């Protein structure tokens, strides 16, 4: 068995990525590379290595990571135009504390140097594809609505455009209403279903509809790039308002619906990136990129246990893009890994620090072997379910992850 597992892949390096890509039925527009936990630099360094190879040898044009899509505009402006300083970009351009990662800093620095002397059409791009959803809760829709409204107001005349920002501003009120951290646990604290919020959703919907209806004029007057960014503002505004409405939900399905709404926002952003900025590498938690329906058993949530199920961003994207989406899951193992788990078997069979495995070959090597799933997620690590190997296109296995730093 161990020799069959060893023969199912290659030591992780650029040539291995190319070999795996050549085995796919079609070149993917979006190549998902997952991680089983957040904050482990080893996975981020492997992501950086993969992206460099994809750019230099496979024609990849962008990377999208699990970070705030609006904040990421700051990073993209730096790597494409050199706007700002690296320190400021790392502070303002990432959500969820990702800007403090040494590997993320190395990625941004490399992208800037790669682009420095290239014409605009040949520059690689940086995107976040998560919504403005920090750990304390969703952000205010103000920045997204201001960006969308400002674009329309600058390029459309009355009667095509007759919604003053004063109306939007009045409905928004103070940003603190939207960012109240207490609303995360208490739906009664959420502003998401107030009369102002309901009216604001209608206004945002009208603005997005106008953006589409006037697209011939707007693209001609500005650029396809500027119009695409306005669409990003529109997706984010409507997605955030939808999420805030979900925060005010008092039904038992509240948490599950919020999970689904977040992944839907992610999927919409990825589906917008694919046709214009693909091929793109997408990096996020395995659970967001998997093709399967997400299942999460929580313990002690608001005094009880919850079984949550929703469609992941990867499952939505895969359903719509088909073979134009591919997914490489990442996992890890070491001496302390139980030997009857997938990670334990891979640890015993693979001597290299990093190994890229073709999932179809691995599934054949494991046929008839009973493996025990690792279900304990208390440490923040989500092991790969052995039953999901066949739903991946590849697996990046890291043996004996070195200490961070």
Element (H, E) at 329: strand 325-333
At residue 402, the pLDDT reads: 59
Q: How far apart are CA 58 and CA 256, in angstroms?
A: 38
At residue 304, the pLDDT reads: 58
- Tell me how far the alpha carbon of residue 212 is from its chain's centroid: 25
At residue 45, the pLDDT reads: 96
Domains and CATH numbers, the chain: 2-60+266-399 (3.40.1660), 137-247 (no CATH)
The structure's pTM equals 0.95
| Blockwise average pLDDT, block size 10, the chain, 405 residues | 88 93 96 96 96 98 98 98 98 96 98 97 98 90 98 89 93 97 95 98 97 97 98 98 97 93 98 98 97 80 72 98 98 92 94 91 93 86 93 95 55
DSSP 2-49: HHHHHTTEEESSHHHHHHHHHTSSS--SEEEEEESSSS-HHHHHHHHH
Three-state DSSP state, 245: helix
Q: How far apart are CA 30 and CA 317, in angstroms?
A: 9
Nearest to 405 by CA among 45, 5, 31, 3: 45
- The partner residues of 128 in beta bridges, in order of sequence, read 65
At residue 405, the pLDDT reads: 40
At residue 307, the pLDDT reads: 85
> From the CA atom positions of the chain, what is the Rg in Å?
22
Sign of the alpha-carbon torsion through 286, 317, 71, 107: positive
At residue 128, the pLDDT reads: 98
């Amino acid at each position: 068995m161990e020799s069959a597992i060893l023969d199912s892949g290659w030591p992780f390096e650029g040539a291995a990525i190319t070999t795996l890509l050549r085995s796919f039925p079609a070149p993917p527009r979006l190549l998902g590379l997952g991680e089983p936990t957040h904050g482990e630099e080893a996975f981020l360094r492997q992501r950086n290595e993969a992206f460099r190879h994809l750019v230099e040898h496979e024609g990849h044009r962008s990377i999208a990571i699990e970070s705030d899509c609006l904040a990421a505009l700051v990073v993209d402006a730096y790597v494409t135009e050199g706007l700002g300083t690296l320190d400021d970009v790392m502070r303002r351009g990432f959500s969820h504390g990702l800007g403090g990662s040494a590997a993320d800093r190395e990625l941004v620095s490399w992208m800037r140097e790669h682009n420095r002397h290239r014409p605009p059409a040949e520059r690689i791009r940086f995107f976040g594809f998560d919504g403005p959803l920090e750990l304390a809760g969703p952000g205010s829709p103000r920045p997204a609505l201001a960006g969308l409204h400002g674009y329309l107001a600058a390029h459309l005349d009355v009667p095509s455009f007759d919604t003053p920002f004063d109306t939007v501003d009045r409905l928004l009120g103070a940003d603190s209403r939207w960012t109240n951290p207490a609303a995360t646990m208490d739906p009664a604290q959420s502003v998401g279903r107030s009369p102002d919020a309901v009216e604001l959703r209608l206004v945002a919907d009208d603005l997005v509809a106008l953006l589409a209806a006037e697209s011939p004029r707007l693209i001609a007057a500005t650029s396809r790039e500027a119009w695409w960014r306005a669409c990003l503002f529109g997706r984010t505004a409507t997605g955030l308002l939808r999420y805030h409405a979900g925060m005010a939900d008092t039904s038992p399905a509240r948490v599950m619906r919020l999970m689904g709404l977040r992944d839907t926002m992610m999927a919409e952003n990825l589906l917008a990136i694919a046709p214009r900025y693909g091929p793109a590498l997408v990096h996020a938690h395995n659970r967001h990129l998997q093709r399967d329906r997400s299942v999460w058993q929580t313990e002690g949530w608001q005094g009880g246990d919850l079984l949550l199920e929703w469609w992941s961003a990867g499952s939505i994207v895969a359903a719509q893009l088909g073979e134009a989406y591919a997914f490489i899951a990442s996992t890890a193992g070491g001496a302390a890994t139980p030997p009857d788990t997938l990670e334990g078997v891979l640890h015993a069979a693979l001597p290299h620090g990093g190994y890229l495995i073709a999932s179809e070959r691995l599934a054949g090597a494991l046929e008839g072997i009973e493996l025990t799933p690792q279900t304990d997620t208390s440490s923040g690590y989500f092991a790969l379910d052995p039953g999901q190997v066949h739903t991946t296109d590849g697996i990046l296995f890291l043996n004996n992850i070195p200490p961070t730093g």
